[in-house]
Amino acid sequence: MEETGERSRLAVPATEAARLLLGSTLTHDGGGEPVTVRVTEVEAYMGDVDPGSHAFRGRTARNNTMFGPAGHLYVYFTYGMHYCANVVCGEDGHATGLLLRAGEIINGRETARERRGNPRTDLDLARGPARLAQALGINRALDGADVFAAPLRLELPAAPVPEQLVSTGPRVGVSGPGGSIEYPWRFWLTGDPTVSKYRPAQPRRRTAAGATALRP
């Protein structure tokens, strides 16, 4: 299938594209040994109808890539230390995408281990969105990059993963209404050992010095 055909497969809402991205592979050839991840867990974000989305209140310089076209990488920086990567889906002008939440490194494992500081087990190389981005060598410089063109290469499965092999549930660490069970927009390969553990968002409180802290 030509690249344009592959891109058109992603030009649907993220909740529909989720099963297509599960089991796909994403390679980053950033110089040296290419690293490839097999995607095992994603989270869908649906723009202005989704209170958990960066695009809920409209377009900004930060979230501009989310508004399309499909088949590009939306990369953001979080907590002052981590990058996270999303594959943009949907129609051009509608901010919908899939956070790459976890996966299995299937190529370039030694490079991924070096980037990740040699974790105790290879299952942790890309278990979690920040770890996945770090293992692949993805940072903000790749925001807007075409996932079907060098230095990236996304390969989609011939058909979406069957529904009976996919589990769904609330998204991880999303506060407010977007983190509730009314938004079961986390999708993962049932039973896969690389899938991250579910952790609900922690409410924040003000400290005496005016800084924010997580509630125990």
Whole-number Cα distances in Å, 197 to 105, 127, 129, 172: 18, 9, 12, 8
Mean pLDDT of 24-49: 93
| In the predicted structure, residue 1 carries a pLDDT above the cut 80 | no
Q: Cis before residue 151, ω within 30 degrees of 0?
A: yes
pLDDT category of residue 182 using cuts at 50, 70 and 90: confident
- Residue 118: both structure tokens together: 């040699």
pLDDT of residue 202: 53
pLDDT in tens, 118-162: 999 999 999 999 999 999 999 999 999 999 999 999 999 999 999
Mean pLDDT of the chain: 87
Residue ranges of domains in the chain, CATH in brackets:
3-214 (3.10.300.10)
- In terms of phi and psi (left: phi > 0; alpha: psi -120 to 50; beta: otherwise), the region of 176 is left
Mean pLDDT of 177-182: 69
Predicted model pTM: 0.87
| In the predicted structure, residue 108 carries a pLDDT above the cut 60 | yes
